[in-house]
């Protein structure tokens, strides 16, 4: 759980940094910056847990975020990708809580899940306010 958390949050931190520097909309830019800070916080806490237990954190390969401000995707697509990644993260937190054997890690996983859920919901509300999140298909019964 901890190794996976470190690897995915390094990628998430870099992705949010890149999205933030090329976003033009100030609300969207602030949202991505908040995501970058959330990833940093989770990274710090998981790394600290490993170090407190005399376990070397993984030396993961990290990409480098360039200084380009040209958006590779629309803000709508970047927001939707962030929304999807938040959902994946929630699934991973639930899975890890079910299989980890340390009670303190179950609690920590719950805190991470709460933080990710709040961040993801904030993004969903932002997308709805801009008309970027559509209503799912419905059927009459």
Q: What is the mean pLDDT of residues 20-28?
A: 95
Number of helices and strands in the chain (H, E): 4, 0
**The pair of three-digit structure tokens given for residue 103, joined into one six-digit string:** 């009670």
Q: What is the DSSP letter of 58?
A: P
H helices present in 23-102, as ranges: 26-52, 75-99
Instruction: Enter the pTM of the model.
Output: 0.88
CA pair distance 117, 53, nearest whole angstrom: 28
Give 37 or 64, the one with higher predicted confidence.
Answer: 37
| Angle CA 45–48–49, to nearest 5 | 90
| Angle CA 57–101–103, to nearest 5 | 90
Tell me which H or E stretch contains 69: none
Q: What is the mean pLDDT of residues 16-32?
A: 96
**The pair of three-digit structure tokens given for residue 108, joined into one six-digit string:** 């920590």
pLDDT value, residue 85: 94
pLDDT in tens, 34-49: 999 999 999 999 999 9
CA pair distance 12, 55, nearest whole angstrom: 23
pLDDT value, residue 59: 75
* pLDDT tier at 54, thresholds 50, 70, 90: very high
Query: Phi first, then psi: what are they for 22, rounded to 5°?
Result: -110, 0
Answer yes or no: are the C-beta atoms of 18 and 63 closer than 8 Å.
no
* pLDDT tier at 75, thresholds 50, 70, 90: very high
* pLDDT tier at 134, thresholds 50, 70, 90: confident
* pLDDT tier at 62, thresholds 50, 70, 90: low
């Amino acid at each position: 759980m901890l190794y996976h958390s470190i690897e995915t949050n390094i990628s998430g931190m870099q992705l949010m940094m890149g999205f933030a520097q090329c976003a033009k909309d100030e609300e969207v830019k602030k949202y991505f910056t908040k995501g970058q800070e959330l990833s940093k916080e989770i990274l710090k806490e998981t790394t600290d847990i490993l170090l407190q237990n005399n376990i070397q954190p993984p030396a993961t390969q990290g990409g480098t975020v360039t200084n380009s401000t040209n958006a590779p995707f629309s803000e709508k697509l970047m927001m939707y990708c962030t929304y999807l990644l938040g959902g994946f993260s929630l699934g991973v937190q639930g899975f890890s809580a079910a299989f980890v054997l340390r009670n303190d890690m179950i609690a920590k996983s719950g805190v991470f899940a709460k933080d990710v859920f709040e961040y993801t919901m904030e993004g969903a509300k932002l997308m709805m306010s801009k008309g970027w999140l559509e209503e799912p298909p419905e059927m009459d019964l």
